[in-house]
Amino acid sequence: VSLQEYPTNQIRFYNGAKIELAAKKKVYITKDNSNIAAKFKTEFKKLGINADLIDISKGDIPKLPDAAGLVLVPDSFNTNNSDTPLTFLESAFLLVKKNASYLMDSGSKKSAFLATVTFLGGGFGFSGEAFKCDPVYGGLAGLSKTASLEWKNVLCRALDMPDSINKCMENAEAAVSLMMTHGSVEMGLDGDSCNIPTLVDQDLNYSDVDLSPDDVVVITGGAKGVTAACAIELAKKYSPTIVLIGRSGEPSLEPEWAKDIHDPAILKKSILTHEFKGQMPKPADIEKIYQKIISNREIHKNIQLMEKNGSRVKYFSADIRKPKEIDSIFQTIRKDLNPVRAIIHGAGVLEDKLIIDKHIDQFKFVLETKVKGLEVLLSASKQDKLKYFVLFSSVAARTGNQGQCDYAMANEILNKTAQRLEHEDSDCKFLSINWGPWEGGMVDDSLKNEFFKRGIDLIPLKLGARQLLKEMGNIDKNGPEVIIGAHLLKQNKSKEAKLSKAMTLSFGLIPTPVLASHQIADEPVVPFAILMECHAHAAQKNNPGLIFGGMDNMRLLKGVKPGNKEVNITVNLGKCQTNENGYETLSSITSQDNGNLSFTHSSCNIILKDRLPNPPVLSKAAFMELKPYSLTRTQVYRDILFHGKALQGIKSINGYSKKGIEITTRLAPPPDQWFKDPFNSQWTIEPMMLDAAFQAAILWSHKRMGQVCLPSFIANLRLYSSFEKLKGDIRILFTVNQESKTKIKGYFTFLNDENIVVASITGFEAITDPSLNEKFKNKPLFSKKSILAFAEGNPSEAFGDRYKIFDKKRQIARLPRPPYFFMDRVLKADHPQWEMKPGGWIETQYDIPKDEWYFKANRTDTIPFCILLEIALQPCGWLAAYAGSALESDERLHFRNLGGKATLIKSLSRNCGTITIRNRMTDVSKAGSMIIQDFEIEVLKDGAAVYKGTTNFGFFTHQALSNQIGIRDSKFNRFSLSKKMLKNTKNYQFKNDAPLTPEDKNCDNNNGMPSKALRMIDDIEILSFDEGLYKKGYIKATKIVDPSEWFFNAHFHQDPVCPGSLGIESFLQMIRFFLLKKYNIPAIEYETQMSPGHTHEWIYRGQIIPANKRIQIHAHIKDATLENDDYSVIADGALIVDGICIYEMKNFNLEFIKAHPSEQRLKKKQVSKKI
């Protein structure tokens, strides 16, 4: 037996309809001393149901004519109770028997229920945890299970609760709800979980039983039938000493006159002649003696078989319920034989009668034979070190059985006692075997015929006995309770239901445009939700007068993937038939390939109704405590979900927890927006609601497990009357009740804007797989290869034939190429190609290599600012080209950055991996051949912005660029020091240290400044710590233009110009040098970077080309500080080329921060290697 765990709320609100009691009827609850019954009463009254407590502890059993509900609550937590648990069971039986007719009458008129409550931990003892309460109370479940078979119109519930009073009080509201909710008879309640015992097939892993000829095995149940067969098999295999205890008298010598007579008629005639000579006996008197002789013969025969197989055998006649008789037998065994090492308790009797007809004496006789017999055996064997204690229980305990409430209860007590004993004595193997019906024993010919009619095979005696030994030798620890039954009689397999074609339609990007928004691994796939819509619509259309109410067992078998073609699918339906839910029809979706091979894509059972039921009313327990989700709606559609614009239904993510997620979604547009030729004017199910629910499952899975998921199965979908007036937004709650590495399970609740449930899904399953993460990532719109084709190859290979003219005939404004190229892929472009207009955006990515040249050249682990700026700006050039800007003029156009304003939010290190860049074209203006374009720029890491701002670019002709006039009247380059001040300043000349170029693998010592590969200044002409425009410091540097430097070749192909970002880098290197010298900073102990949290601005009004000669850079320090061992500087400045001021930099902030000790050690290690 395994516990199937479900969320309590799923069972309460969706899995079964809740019954309603008649207004004038009452619920009666047996009183206990822990006030649990009183708490139940309070919860019933909250629901507007009349409830009263009754006391049955003194044997006063009331008649309750107005009863519509009985709740049997034992006094399990009261250890001082003088009444035994068996006494309570007897009173409980009498209460149910006396009021059975009243409950059935209430049930026939409206509704009624019977609930038995136990306190075995909320899992009926199957959880593996020990429980404290007396296991005898566990027998109550047998009463409910049998009543459920005998009373067809009364809801019967066996409810198990925690073995803690406080927890029972906490769960009382849910318990009362479950008492009145249809579903499995047995439900265990433990907080948020509802545990339902389920039978699970299990293979046996067994070895020999640890018994020898010197070990004594006591077997109750006599020397006939089932127990005798087991004893014989035990003797054959192990030959232990066998002691049999039975009600029959000890075997005696048969009268001489009876010997050799086997014909029943002749034997009975001889009995009349010899036992009733001269008398007129009744047939029953003759039958009694006849049965005694036959019984004696069977006992003799069986004992002889046991002895023949090597066992010593002793038979005792005794009443198993009487302690003195059994104690005496055990004392004799120890004295005359050996200590007892195993007990097999097989004694039992039957007195089959329906609950309403059964007499209390019959009830007690059946119950006590099993239960008191067990108590007596446990007491008698206290001093014996038992190896095995086997209880012969019955499948009636597991399922109930008509006419056998006492037998079911008795055997359920055996089951629970075995569970309890297993925890108390680990040296003894306890088994409680719930046998199905045997060929012998208590099954007579009439019962055999009944079983045959029901298709139930009987357990053969020999096979059953052998199975007993296997169970005793089972080496796996699966709990003591085992269910064993013969296979059902082989019956002819029912023919598969015939399905007929009901609807056909085509799926593809043309007939179904919505598929463009549902592509996995770049392949259009029909959404699970749309397949559900097809099933529902076909069933409703083909059954006029009925409406779609839900579906069961919706399973995806094979996805519908049309690719670039079309797939014709068929919806097939079975015959509509009535069932307990209304009407039902089977449905499947199939297709055929070109070779006429048929595929089934999905199947389900469609539920149809005359009208939709009222929605369930949710309590507060149905809602989760949620925390904010870490990503916004925009971010999840960008970074997690693969869904395109048409299916981006989620409007907000309301919250998340380990137990689930909540979202709000819009409704689907009319079908004609998703289908070219829609099959209906309105939706049957509302597919956006469903698809958004599955999207919510993906978001939960990604957050919780780091993996995405796809729906595969739905056990139940139900629509309620509130669905018919659907409008506005839908709130969706997804509650998870099971998760593993490969699957998640849960249920959905759909609520309208009035918080009324409109639909529910239970038994939802989704497949999780790490490989899906990659499949969810759409193939880049443009790969690195095609982007490089634009940078240094044939532009048409990137953008298409309209740019073929630039492959050879004309030149185009390009992106930089390696080693100054920082775009790996273009993910998305929400901008019409070849249309130069504002509003569109693109999303690109760059994978930061850990050991890229610029880290070594800059001697930092942080990305140099010039590289970060290029990462942010280069997608602007790509978007401009995508928009067809180069085609706006017949002249050769050059693309130049004009400036920008941005904020560094967080620095990026060499370990950042992949970053995402988003650029939007916000404005476009054109004057003659000149084009000006404005952009928003944003660099993101893990969905969070690290650098963002605005910038503008211009397209210029060669002539326009040649008329370079620069920035007039810049205050930053007009500053000069007096001759006196000049005498007090210092100048410095930089040596060319390695790496000398981006390709150089050599590396010299870290002096705090970049190496030649990235250094953009040759010498410092002026360094003052208290001059400048702000009297905080001034620094002037120069650089001689070298036409052979690497960046002219990289930026750009066919248009060599020094990157503006490297001009800013020269300015930053000056103020970096300023800090080093002002504070004598030990470079090896510090890391330099742009300071986060500051906004800076740059202006470009000219360019540096290979023909230029000399560059000057001015920096005016606005502030320089030392705080907590960290140094920072803020400065403005300008860059002049050949006497013309072309750049201005404002409010740039740089800092030296203390490196982590481990980073310092690494730097020292690298330096020592270089030396």
Boundary of a domain, candidates 744, 776, 808? 776
Are 953 and 1045 within one domain? no
* pLDDT on residue 196: 86
40 domain residue, yes or no: yes
* pLDDT on residue 488: 36
Are 806 and 934 within one domain? yes
Containing structural domain, residue 631: 620-776
Are 835 and 927 within one domain? yes
Are 243 and 122 within one domain? no
281 domain residue, yes or no: no
**Among all chains, which residue has been given the structure tokens 């078979």?**
149
- Residue 750, strand partner residues: 732, 759
Are 151 and 101 within one domain? yes
41 domain residue, yes or no: yes
* pLDDT on residue 491: 38
Q: How many domains does the chain have?
A: 6
* pLDDT on residue 1035: 95
Are 1006 and 887 within one domain? no
286 domain residue, yes or no: no
Distance CA 1050, CA 814 (A): 11
**Among all chains, which residue has been given the structure tokens 């566990």?**
138
Are 243 and 191 within one domain? no
CB 661 within 8 A of CB 696: yes
Distance CA 975, CA 965 (A): 20
Nearest to 1041 by CA among 1135, 1119, 926: 1135
285 domain residue, yes or no: no
Boundary of a domain, candidates 776, 811, 846? 776
Distance CA 233, CA 1063 (A): 97
H/E element, 1053: none
Boundary of a domain, candidates 173, 200, 227? 200
Averaged in consecutive runs of 10 residues, what is the pLDDT profile of the chain (1171 residues)? 73 71 94 94 93 92 95 88 82 95 93 95 86 91 94 93 92 91 88 81 85 94 87 93 89 82 84 82 85 83 91 92 94 93 91 92 92 93 93 90 92 92 89 84 60 67 89 86 65 59 93 91 90 95 94 92 91 88 90 82 94 82 84 88 91 94 96 92 94 96 92 92 91 91 91 92 89 75 93 95 94 97 93 94 95 96 97 98 95 96 97 94 93 97 93 95 90 85 84 96 94 97 93 96 97 97 98 96 94 97 97 97 95 97 98 74 42 27
Are 754 and 662 within one domain? yes
CATH label of the domain that carries residue 1053: 3.10.129.10
Distance CA 130, CA 250 (A): 41
Using CA atoms, how far residue 371 sits from 139, 171, 261, 322, 365, in Å, is: 10, 31, 40, 12, 10
| Strand 1126-1137 relative to strand 1140-1154, pairing | antiparallel
CB 145 within 8 A of CB 399: yes
Are 700 and 799 within one domain? no
Nearest to 718 by CA among 685, 754, 694: 685
Are 595 and 649 within one domain? no
Query: What's the chain's length in residues?
Result: 1171
CB 635 within 8 A of CB 603: no
Q: Which tokens go with 750? A: 């759909």
284 domain residue, yes or no: no
Count of CB atoms within 10 A of residue 759's CB? 27
Angle, CA of 908, 912 and 915, to the nearest 5°: 85
Terminal CA-CA length for the chain: 73
Q: Is 361 exposed, middle or buried (0-12, 13-18, 19+ CB in 10 A)?
A: exposed
Distance CA 904, CA 375 (A): 79
Are 647 and 791 within one domain? no
Count of CB atoms within 10 A of residue 423's CB? 14
Q: Is 628 exposed, middle or buried (0-12, 13-18, 19+ CB in 10 A)?
A: exposed
* pLDDT on residue 14: 65
CATH label of the domain that carries residue 67: 3.40.50.720
* pLDDT on residue 1127: 97
279 domain residue, yes or no: no
Count of CB atoms within 10 A of residue 962's CB? 10
Using CA atoms, how far residue 1074 sits from 515, 1006, 1022, in Å, is: 59, 16, 10
Crossing angle, helix 528-541 and helix 687-705, to 10 degrees? 150
Are 420 and 471 within one domain? yes
| Strand 26-30 relative to strand 50-54, pairing | parallel
Across 288-381, the runs of DSSP E, i.e. the strands, are 313-317, 340-345
